[in-house]
Structures are given as structure tokens and as C-alpha cells.
Structure 1
Amino acid sequence: MSYDAHFKVWRGDADGGGLVDYTVAVNEGEVVLDVIHRLQATEAADLAVRWNCKAGKCGSCSAEINGRPRLMCMTRMSVFDPAATVTVTPMRAFPVVRDLVTDVSFNYAKAREVPAFVPPPGVAAGEYRMRQEDVNRSQEFRKCIECFLCQDTCHVVRDHEENKPAFAGPRFLMRVAELDMHPLDAAEGAGLDRKRTAQDEHGLGYCNITKCCTEVCPEGIKITDNALIPLKERAADRKYDPLVWLGSKIRRRGA
């Protein structure tokens, strides 16, 4: 079944812009990105949009569709009433470059602030051994495709520009949590306390676990339940539980 859909697409740049109305053909089985491509081909050749794989794995085509952060290539037109207006706007949390393209360099800057995995001393890379349950735990977080939809929907980033210098956002707090859970990460022996840095340097305390990041993740990663809440619990134990604090001091002295 084919029909003509009413689209509102944000057009503009860093200096400003607004929604522009388009009527564009939709064919059965298509996704929003298909319609955007047809729009480029027929009515708006200069429409700027970022995309790559069109298979939900590169994370490039992130946008907001009817106000919800989504991948355009994974949002089927069949979820919308044919008579309804579909509104496509750029991710609100990041500066607009042009049209649907935003400057996501904030995220790469935050990625560089997270210290890398610290290999265990005396163990060669090919000799690493882990329990399968530990592998599975890390693998969930490794499914991230860097679409930054979780960063976009997080109200700490989205609604408060002043928080950005102190807050890494859910994607990179998840990375800290992954490393802190990793049984082979030797960061603590090297003098790096990931739980402390999560709180003091990456802004873990700003997160109030609303689970909005989990709700928009196209890979279904349980960011809040499996990464952020456990990391908060461990950070709180390290800082406020006297037995945990004493144990860490004894271990450090013994090392």
C-alpha cells in the first residue's frame, strides 16, 4: 500500500531555522530514513542528514521523530497513522550543524575522559581467562552502537547545558561501570579508583535513574538497571559504608 504522508522536517543551521512542510510518497515496508531519502531526491536536494548502514548498527541516523529520540532507519512508517503528521527534528541535546545533522563531539570528548582498561600484571593478552557470566555481563554493554540517543534523552544533558562539563552521560557512565565490573581490570592496583572517579569526575550523582536512557536504546541495553544502579551502589558503599571503606584501606596497605 502506497500513500502520501505529511512530514514536518526541521531545516536550518546553527543560526536558527524551523519546521518545513512536505508531502512525500510512502511505500509499504519503508522506514523514516527511506522517506527522508525520497524527500532529498524529489523536493529537498540540499537536506542534510547523517546516515551510513541503514541497518540499525552504525548509529549515524539518530534524530527525534515526533519528539522521541530514535534511529530513522529503525522506525517503520507502519507505526504511524497514514493521516498523521510525522515530525523529524535533530537531536536536541547537541548543537545543530545543519538540518538533521548535529555536532556530537561532546560525546567523543567524554569518551576520552574515561581511563582505558588496565591489563592485569604478568598476564599476556592471549592468556586472559574469565567466567562466562562475566563475559555476558560485559557483552551487553559492548552492544552499544554509539547512536547517542541515551545521551540525547537524558534530561541532565538535554535540559541543562551547564551540566555538560561535569557529567559524562549514561553512555559513558555505562563504560565506567563495564570496566569496574571487569574481573581482569587492574585499575585499582594501579591507583585508579573507578567508583570514586565515576562520582567525582564523571558526575554519577547527577543521574536520578529515570530510565529514559534505557527506553530509547535501540540495542535494548538495560543501561539503568545493569550499569548505572549497580555503579551507584558500589560508589555509595565505597564512600559511606565503614566496613567497605576499612576493607579498601587494608587491601591498599597490604599491596
Structure 2
Amino acid sequence: MSAQSDAYKAHFRIWRGDADGGGLEDFRVEVNDGEVVLDIIHRLQATQVPDLAVRWNCKAGKCGSCSAEINGRPKLMCMTRMSVFERDETVTVTPMRTFPVVRDLVTDVSFNYAKAREIPSFVPPPGLEPGEYRMRQEDVGRSQEFRKCIECFLCQDTCHVVRDHEENKSAFAGPRFLMRIAELDMHPLDAAPETGLDRKRTAQENHGLGHCNITKCCTEVCPEHIRITDNALIPLKERSVDRKYDPLVWLGSKIRRRNRTD
């Protein structure tokens, strides 16, 4: 059977509005075999609502632009196939709830870029030039998992620490950027400690690591299948606790700090 002959009409509910308010609107729209939710949004733009606002770029699950909530769950529209829904099922598409609405399905995600600027960057090892860095493959592989992030901010959207508590945003970086701190903290070439920068301490005191209660909701929505909680947040929490409460670790940090000042 051809894709065209297998077409059917789906019931979509799309949130429409802006920062001043809005609501869900109902549409009947054609669906063909093999299509994704973003295809349907584009068809709606082409045939019924040309002013429907949506952010997208690659349509290949690599740019992170088309993040939204589909039937209440944070997802990439370009990676959500229509085949996962029953034909008589209503598909509801709304903007990411954690961030302010600009218009329709487009949200203002500048919160995330502000948090990114707060994270101290990689500190190059002294005496080594770019191209001279050497790392064990095991360490490369461990960091590479976190670098698969496409900055879709679905993990930020689903994290209830900021999703349900707007007042936490000033003190909490969110899972995407705590993951960045964890990546740098475990990087064998990062020379931050030699400059006096303690990433574990700043994670706790400046970026809200203690707010995270490891529910793993961020891991569950990650389209790159990064194990954010197990491989980044929990190890960072463990290292932070060791630094603060383990007497040997505490003593060692005091000795190193004294040696730096001598």
C-alpha cells in the first residue's frame, strides 16, 4: 500500500498565544506514513495557520531547536513519529512549560544561556599548547558522553526544581549545566584546582547542586540518551560530599591550599 493511500486525518490540539495568554485550538490535518510531529506542524502552517510560530532547524534530531511538549511530555517534534499514536488519538502540542512563551510553540530559552555563562570554562594545563594534550581513551569516552548534548533543554524543561518553582531559577543551574560542571570536574587535564577554582564547591554553593534530588526525569527525556543522573549528577554529588565531610579529603585540601600559598 502506498504512503498516499494510507493517509488519514489526525486530531491535533495546538497551543496558540503569546506572553499575554492563549489557549488550545483544534485542527484536523492529514497524516502520511512515516511522518513526524514536525511534518504535521509544517502542514498546518502550509494549509491552515500560516502564522503558527514554531522554532526548528535541522529536522534530524541534532540541533535541539524544535523542543516542545507532546501530550504533556517534553520531546523533540522532529523525533516523535506519528506512528506511536493511535489514529483516533488526540495529539496535543504545547510550548515548553518551564520557559516564558514568546508566541505559540516558541519559548524564550535565554535562561539557559545565562546559566551557561556562569559556568567557569575549561582551564588549560600550564606548559602545554593546543595539540599537545594527551588523555587516556577511557577518560575521553567518559567526557564524550556529555558532549553529545544538543542543547535542546528538554532536561531543563522537565526538571521540577525549576519547572514547578520559579523562585529557584536564580540559584539553580539545572541538569544540563550541572552536567557540564561534572564533565569539567572529572576532566584529567582541567587545571582549575591549580588556579584555586574548586568546581565541586561552586556546584554546591553557586549552582544549586543540593537542589537536585536525582529523580532521573532529566535522563528520561534526553534525546541523546545521556545518563545525566547516573553518570554526571550522582558522581558529582558524591565527590562534593567527600570533599565536605570526609576528614582525609578535607585535610588533603587544606595541605594543598597551604602549599599553593607558600
TM value normalised by structure 1: 0.99
Aligned equivalents of 1:40 and 1:17: distance in 2?
18
Deviation at 1:250, TM superposition (A): 1.4
Alignment partner, residue 223 of structure 1: 228
Match of 2:175 among 170, 175, 195: 170
Matched residue, 2:249: 244
**C-alpha distance in 1, partners of 2:89/2:145?**
36
1:108-123 to 2 correspondences below 5 Å: 108-123=113-128
- Distance in 2 (alpha carbons) for counterparts of 1:160 and 1:253: 41
- Deviation, 1:252, is 2.2
Percent identity for Structure 1 against Structure 2:
84
Distance in structure 2 (CA, Å) of the matches to 1:126 and 1:77: 46
Q: What's the counterpart of residue 164 of structure 2?
A: 159
AA of the residue aligned to 2:203: A
Match of 2:81 among 69, 76, 81: 76
Q: Within 1, Cα distance between the matches of 2:183 and 2:212?
A: 17
Give the Cα separation in 2 of the matches to 1:242 and 1:97: 50
The answer for the alignment partner of 1:100 in structure 2 is 105
Q: Secondary structure at the match of 2:83?
A: helix
SS in 2 for 1:210: coil
Hey, what does 1:254 align to over in structure 2? 259
Calculate the TM-score normalised by the size of structure 2: 0.97
The whole-number CA distance in structure 2 between the counterparts of 1:251 and 1:167 is 29
The amino acid that maps onto 1:139 is Q
- Of the three residues 122, 126, 135, the one matched with 2:131 is 126
Counterpart in 2 of 1:55?
Answer: 60
Q: 2:188 maps to which residue?
A: 183
Matched residue, 2:19: 14
Provide, for residues 169-220 of structure 1, a one-character-per-residue CA deviation record: whole Å limited to 9, x for no partner.
0000000000000000000100100000000000000000000000000000
- Distance in 1, matches of 2:50 and 2:240, equals 51
Which one of the candidate residues 118, 133, 140 is aligned to 1:135? 140
Q: Pairwise CA RMSD of aligned residues?
A: 0.5
Give 1:249 shift.
1.2
Aligned length: 255
Instruction: Tell me the distance in 1 between the aligned counterparts of 2:129 and 2:51.
Output: 52
Q: 2:208 aligns with which of 203, 208, 220?
A: 203
Residue 251 of structure 1 and its aligned partner are, at CA, apart by 2.0
Amino acid at match of 2:171: A
Task: State the secondary structure of the residue aligned to 1:130.
Answer: coil
Q: Quick one: which amino acid aligns to residue 52 of structure 1?
A: N
User: In 2, distance between residues paired with 1:125 and 1:190?
Assistant: 19
